[in-house]
Every structure is written in structure tokens, then in C-alpha cells.
Amino acid sequence: MATDNTNDGAGNGSAGNDDDPLTGAAAELPILDPPQRVSGMRVPDGWSLPGKPADLHLDAADAWRQSGFLLADDLLLIERGLDLQARFTATGRTPAARTMTMAAFASLWSRAFSSTSDATALVRQGSYQGALPLIRQAVELVAAQSGLRSELDSFKRWAHGAYGRHAESRAEDVGLGHYFSGEAIAADDQLRMIYRAASDFGRPNFGPTALFVADGASHQRYPLVFADQAFHLGWGQLLLGWLLRLGVSQLHVSMHAGAHFPAPQQLRDEVLAHVRDAEQLLAVDGRCRLEEYLDDENQRRHLIVEFRRRPADAAKRLLL
């Protein structure tokens, strides 16, 4: 469930204070639009993924090369999706659409966009575990936009109290504006599965840790490789697939926000064509993917299928 513990800029952050004009009895009245004016809106004309970083470690450089060859279709579709997102966002610059409601969506969208682009670059250079926090963040940011469609008052409350002066600390009080749309994540089967896995794999849990640092470990051996950045086809397919799926989810949210992003029909048709291409790639046989597995104790577990480091390796099924 989404929550809002917004500080109103004057230190009144409790949701049940009747003296707060934005809570208590006054909360039953419609909340006014935010006082801020959206002054300009800089959006890139398009988007390309970041180029190869300089001075990559030998293994990371090889991962970059092999990713560009073996995962070229994934990278191309992710880049195309981000380019479509940038062009789609730019349609919010029209005077009629340039409102603080549009800005609420575009602000979260901007962060999801950057997280996706940055995570893609990390995957391409073999930093698979480094991409996981960004993937989890992107899920939260995309889902937050879905939640805002019915919970915009949370943003309005924050906007009304934000940027006041906090005398005691002699600081500009931006306010936290706490917001998390767990309901939107739970309501989307794909986002929920990616979020759970990215969270569990990104934490110091022993199973995922072994997969990142001791590929090929068994009950008899633990082949530890410290700071491993060697190319791994399974991790690359899995994580780039998640990023591609997140891009599709983001475009789905945007296509349903026509009042704020009035994209022309030609651009909307390009989005639909891109989604079809993405779904087709994600459905290819032999691709590493994640499935939910319900065990005998009725617990949901992560099942990774078609997991292999090199194309010629035998595929594994791993249960975490």
C-alpha cells in the first residue's frame, strides 16, 4: 500500500493532526493543485546507450565485447525503448500539458529512465550484481507512476509544504514526501516477480552471492572468484530481459497518460510495434529466464532456467 508521511515544511508531518490544514478534517476537502509552476522542460531529443567506458578491467572489456555480439538484440531493443520514452516524454512540454501533475509523473519517469540506462551499461560490462539495486529502484519508480493515477493527493500534499524555510536548522525544508506503491507492484505479475528477485539477489543472501562469486559451485567445491566480471550469458539474458520488461511497463503507463503526454498517433504506433518486438524476443526458446516456483510448504521461490555462462555450456535449472 502506498503511504505518505509528508512533512509539510513547517515540521508538521503527522497524518492525523487536526491543526494541519492539509490533514484531519480538512483532508475531506479536495486538495488544491500545487503552487509551483513548471518552468520549462528539458528533454533529450532521443537516446543512445552509453559508450564503452575507458580503462575497463580485462574481464569487463571482454564482457562488453561479448555482450555486444551475443546480446545485441537485447541492447538494441532497450536502446530503442529508451529513445521512444525520451520522445514520448517530450510531448509533455506543450502548454496545456505542462502542469505539476505532469511533472509528478515525469519526475519519477526521469529517475526510472536513468536507472534503466545505467543498469544496462553495468550489465554490458559484466557488473551483474551492481545492476540489481538499479533494477529494483526502476521497478519502484515505474510502479509509483501507476500508483499516482489514484493517489495524486500524496504528491499534492508534499508540493504544498515543500521548499519552506526551517528556522531551527537554517535549511531549506524540501520534505521527504515518502511514497511507495507496493499495491502497484503486487498488482503486476511481471513487476512483482522482478522486484522480489532483484531484492533477494541484491541482498547479502548466501545463495545469490555464491552464484555471483563462485559460478559452478557444487556440494564438493566452491570455485571462488573475487570481483568476477567475466561474461556470463545467463546473467546477461536474465537482467537485460528484466530491463526490457521494465521499459515495456513504463511505456504502458505512459500510453495511458495521454492527458499529460499527448503523443501523436505515429509515435504511439511506434511504441506498439516496439512492444511486440520486445515480447517476441523475451519469448525465444532457450533464453535464460526467471520463474516462480511454489514448493511443498507453499512458499514462493525463484527458479532460474536455461542458466549457462557460455552458449555451448549445458543449461542449468537453479532453485533459490
Mean pLDDT of the chain: 90
C-alpha cell at 246: 521494465
pLDDT score for 9 = 36
**242 DSSP assignment:** H
pTM over 0.75: yes
DSSP 108-142: HHHHHHHHHHHHHHHHHTT-HHHHHHHHHHHHHHH
Radius of gyration over alpha carbons of the chain, in Å? 22
Confidence of residue 24 (pLDDT cuts 50, 70, 90): low
Other C-beta atoms lying within 10 Å of the C-beta of residue 159: 21
Which candidate, 97, 251, 129, 254, places its Cα nearest to that of 201? 129
Residue 6 pLDDT exceeds 70: no
Spacing of C-alpha 190 from chain mean position: 12
Interval 48-84: pLDDT, tens: 998 999 999 999 999 999 999 999 999 999 999 999 9
SS3 content of the chain, % helix, strand, coil (to 5): 50, 10, 40
Which DSSP helix (H) or strand (E) runs through 243? helix 233-255
For residue range 141-175, list pLDDT tens digits in order: 999 999 999 999 999 999 999 999 999 999 999 99
Mean of pLDDT values over 173-197: 95
pLDDT at 13 over 60: no
CA distances from 108 to 115, 177, 211, 301 (A): 11, 13, 32, 30
Residues whose CB falls within 8 Å of the CB of residue 294, separated by 6 or more in sequence, listed in order: 300, 301
SS3 label, residue 198: helix
Centre a 10 Å sphere on the Cβ of residue 217 and count the other Cβ atoms it contains: 13
Sheet (strand 289-294) strand order = 289-294, 300-307, 316-319
Share of the chain above pLDDT 70, in %: 91
